[in-house]
Amino acid sequence: MNNIYQQGKDFARSYILPYTELTDKESKFPEESFKKLSENGFLKLVIPVEYGGFGKGLEEHAQACLAFAETCSTTALCYMMHNVALMCILTHGSDELKQNIFTDIVENGKFMALAYSELGTGTHFYIPEMTAEVNGDNTTFNGTKSMVTSGTYASYYLVLAPSVEEGKINNWVFPLETKGLSFDLSKWNGFGLRGNASCPMHIENVTLDSSFRIGAEGSGEEQVFNVVAPFFVTGLGAVYSGTAMHMFEIASNHAVDRQYPDGTTLANIETIQIHIANIYKTAAAARALTLDAARAGANSEADALAKILSARIVASEAAIECGRLAMRVGGGKAYNKSLPTERLLRDAYAGQIMAPSADVLAIWLGKALTGQMIP
């Protein structure tokens, strides 16, 4: 997998595009696409070679998410979270945990998700309210995670919970079949990204031994800000810059194909040309910033954090702006849903509020640029 972006584009045309409309219309998780993601090796993209994976990193993660988002934002988002969860296991998990989970993904096509957000803490998901009662080597958990992407479909969920060390948190792996774990899919009715099955997870007397804890006691916050944040935030930048590029493709193709009785097309109108130009430059700028941020992060450059935070903010705002202009280009065709513009615009609006929200990220960016602690 040397040219991840192009391979992702080719894959998306064959195995994501056929399900994209149904994913939105029926709020249907893209199961068929995820089966093919496994068969084509994308689920093991960041798994080390010694475990049967491809051993790729932040740049390839961003490229794959971008490629998929240019066809389906939902599939890209769910895939992005799988990679983020894997990186936590890779960087902080025990040898036993790595072996078990990596093998299940490589050999059985399983995938992962994040279960961090709670009703009381919202975008500040690193401050869990659920309880964790320790009894020897076992810990019993109770609480509810509010919006768990890929709920019931992923096989492993990363869950943040309080540590025995005051003020600290732990990152745990909850297998899907764990006793006391349940999901409420009826509560999911997303405005956009409708196929991501982002439903509540109920945790009732779930008991796990310490082998399911990722890393040392109390190391959850370190994982959130050193591993989750760069991969998650960069991934979101890729998802929303990909969504913006998808809007350009739809709008420009419609402008060229929409023909009038005299033989001219929508693309011959100067106002439309300006709209198309603005959509492209906005989307392309977001994509370029995201890929540059991924490169900076992969190389541990001094300004990597600022670039990653900026890319995510710019990409989410770019997707909304491109959607606004794409509606103008599409006109009645876009309004009556003959074009997928409306779906893409709904997907785009999720970007500004998805944790960490654009407002939270702007604060973090300001802190990073002035040498202050985050959060």
- Considering the four listed CATH numbers 1.20.140.10, 3.40.1160.10, 2.40.50.100, 3.30.420.40, the one that applies to the domain covering 221-369 is 1.20.140.10
Tokens 């493709």 appear where?
A: 249
| Residue 266 to residue 273: CA distance in whole angstroms | 9
Fold category of 115-219 in CATH: Butyryl-CoA Dehydrogenase, subunit A; domain 2 (2.40.110)
Residue 120, token pair as written in the block: 């009381």
281 has pLDDT over 90: yes
The residue type found at 199 is C
The residue type found at 286 is A
Quick check: 355 and 123 in contact, CB under 8 A?
yes
122 has pLDDT over 70: no
| Residue 134 to residue 164: CA distance in whole angstroms | 8
Q: In what order do the strands lie in the sheet with 181-183?
A: 131-135, 138-148, 199-209, 181-183
Phi and psi at 310, nearest 5°, equal -60, -45
Residue 373, pLDDT score: 87
Measured CA distances, 73 to 58, 78, 99, 130, 156 (Å): 19, 9, 31, 30, 22
| Residue 250 to residue 257: CA distance in whole angstroms | 11
CATH hierarchy code of domain 4-111:
1.10.540.10
Residue 174, pLDDT score: 98
Residue 107, pLDDT score: 98
Q: For 23-39, what is each residue's pLDDT tens digit?
A: 999 999 999 999 999 99
What number of other Cβ atoms are within 10 A of residue 137's Cβ? 9
Alpha carbon of residue 8 to chain centroid: 15
Beta bridge partners of 140: 133, 207
Rg of the chain over Cα atoms, rounded to whole angstroms, equals 21
Start-to-end C-alpha separation, the chain: 36
Angle at which helix 270-298 crosses helix 58-69, to 10 degrees, equals 160
Helix (H, G, I), strand (E, B) or coil at 175: strand
Predicted TM-score (pTM) above 0.85: yes
Q: What is the DSSP letter of 85?
A: H
Closest CA to 284 of 231, 246, 230, 327: 246
Closest CA to 140 of 150, 127, 130: 130
Quick check: 244 and 319 in contact, CB under 8 A?
yes
Tokens 């009662």 appear where?
A: 133
Residue 191, token pair as written in the block: 């405005």
Mean pLDDT for the chain overall: 96
Tokens 């969504």 appear where?
A: 243
Those residues with Cβ within 8 angstroms of residue 152's Cβ, 6 or more apart along the chain or in another chain? 176, 183, 185, 197, 199
Q: In what order do the strands lie in the sheet with 213-214?
A: 112-115, 156-162, 169-175, 213-214
The residue type found at 332 is G
Q: For 162-183, what is each residue's pLDDT tens digit?
A: 999 999 999 999 999 999 999 9
Higher pLDDT among residues 119 and 73, named by residue:
73
Q: Residue 123 — very low, low, confident or very high, per pLDDT cuts 50/70/90?
A: low
Domain boundaries of the chain, sorted by first residue: 4-111, 115-219, 221-369
Higher pLDDT among residues 81 and 1, named by residue:
81
Helix (H, G, I), strand (E, B) or coil at 141: strand
Q: Residue 124 — very low, low, confident or very high, per pLDDT cuts 50/70/90?
A: confident
320 has pLDDT over 70: yes
Q: For 60-111, what is each residue's pLDDT tens digit?
A: 999 999 999 999 999 999 999 999 999 999 999 999 999 999 999 999 999 9
11 has pLDDT over 80: yes
1 has pLDDT over 70: no
